[in-house]
Structure formats: structure tokens, C-alpha cells
A and B are shown apart, each in its own frame.
Chain A
Amino acid sequence: AQSVSQHNHHVILSEAASLELGCNYSYGGTVNLFWYVQYPGQHLQLLLKYFSGDPLVKGIKGFEAEFIKSKFSFNLRKPSVQWSDTAEYFCAVMGNSGNTPLVFGKGTRLSVIA
């Protein structure tokens, strides 16, 4: 079964600081990888996704993530955060065969302060 580990429970950054949120997964086969964001009081929105090809994927709002297969990692990055990036971020993995479920990490809460 798949599992996802997000290293940080709560991250606090000042505006313009760089962001990196860690995500490691466990799965024996080919995977699809996702980062979702949840702004306060809202539903989940897809930030970016990796299916195949270039391991560096770019998403919305200046976010990017790098898939490192040898490390089973899919870390999320942003060079310069804004106050509006305050949200909870979820890494998720789905196996690429059959009807495997979409499994989420426990989430990382990001607080950006002025």
C-alpha cells in the first residue's frame, strides 16, 4: 500500500523567503504525484502534478516540485513566498496501475508573516 510522509507539520516564513516542503512516498510501482493546497476555509486545489517526463514540474502561483525517483521524494519549492501563500499543503501519491487510491500525507501548514 502507498504511504506519504510530509516532514514538516508547521512552517513559518517571512515574506520573500524561499520555501521547500518535504514529501517522501512509499510505493512499489510507478506513481503519479500531486501537491494540493487548501486555503483557509476552502477546498483542495491542485497546485501541480507529475505523471512522467521531466522530473521538475511547474505549477500555478510560482510553485514547482522535483521528483527524485532514487529518493522517493517530491519536494515542493517556491523561491519567494507571499502572505497569500498562507495555507495548508498536501502531498499525495497514486499508483499508476488499476484503481489505486489517492493517498495523502498529513499536510504542512504554512504561515507567511509580513
Chain B
Amino acid sequence: EAQVTQNPRYLITVTGKKLTVTCSQNMNHEYMSWYRQDPGLGLRQIYYSMNVEVTDKGDVPEGYKVSRKEKRNFPLILESPSPNQTSLYFCASRRPGQMNTEAFFGQGTRLTVV
């Protein structure tokens, strides 16, 4: 079954404690991205990756890092989380640069930073 898997689904952490949210896809997609969803703001792109070792900033990259060492994995790293990063996070993957392509989303990770 084609899917995007995120872990953990829920996470409560304290300010400043480094954390990583993992994302893995089994569709051999080159393009992967991270979004955060906040009430009234919709989904905003944090970072994206067009292929292994190729990453770039989205609209709201401050406070986040990513890495793309393998095609299937695209972890999101918060080196020093702050309360304003409390949000619902989604990972997505798709085929890049082609017509008729759609994005597949993970189940989401609800992060609370206290």
C-alpha cells in the first residue's frame, strides 16, 4: 500500500529539547516536503526536497532543519523547540516536475512545546 508514514503521531516536549519527527514514503517519490498547519493559516510549507541531498526552504523555515540522506526518508529536526512551534505537522511526497502529479500526505504529528 502506497503511504507516507510519520512518527510520532503525538509529542509533548519542553522548550529547548531537540527533537526529530521522522517521515518515510514507499512510493519512490523524489519530491518530499514538510508543512505545518495552524488554525486560520492553512498549511504552510516549511522545507522541501527535490531529491537526495537536495533541500530548500519553504515559506516558514525558521527554527527547523531537514536532511535527505535517502530517497525514502525526510526527517524534520527542531534543534531548540519553542512554544510557537506548537502545531500540527504533515509530511508529503510526490513525483516532481511532471504533469498530473498529486501529493500524498502522512497522518500528521501533533507537537506541543511547553
A interface with B by C-beta (< 8 Å): 6, 9, 32, 34, 36, 42-46, 49, 51-52, 90, 94, 96-99, 101-107
* Contact pick for B33, options A6, A36, A102, CB 8 Å: A102
Min CB gap B51→A, angstroms: 10
Please determine whether B99 and A96 come into contact, CB atoms closer than 8 angstroms.
Answer: yes
The residues of A that contact B105 with a CB separation of less than 8 Å are 36, 43-45
Please determine whether B58 and A101 come into contact, CB atoms closer than 8 angstroms.
Answer: yes
Min CB gap B57→A, angstroms: 11
Binds A, one of B14-22, B39-47, B77-85: B39-47
B interface with A by C-beta (< 8 Å): 31, 33, 35, 40-45, 48, 50, 58, 90, 92, 94, 96-97, 99-103, 105-108
CA distance A106 to B105 in the complex (A): 17
Please determine whether B102 and A49 come into contact, CB atoms closer than 8 angstroms.
Answer: yes
Please determine whether B90 and A43 come into contact, CB atoms closer than 8 angstroms.
Answer: yes
- Interface contacts beyond A44-B105, A99-B31, A104-B44: sample of 10 additional A-B pairs, CB < 8 Å, sorted by A: A32-B100, A32-B101, A34-B103, A42-B107, A44-B90, A45-B105, A99-B97, A101-B45, A107-B40, A107-B42
CA distance A49 to B42 in the complex (A): 18
The residues of A that contact B50 with a CB separation of less than 8 Å are 99
Please determine whether A52 and B99 come into contact, CB atoms closer than 8 angstroms.
Answer: yes
Min CB gap A41→B, angstroms: 9
Please determine whether B40 and A43 come into contact, CB atoms closer than 8 angstroms.
Answer: no
With contacts A43-B106, A43-B108 taken as known, whether A104 is within 8 angstroms of B90 at the C-beta atoms is no
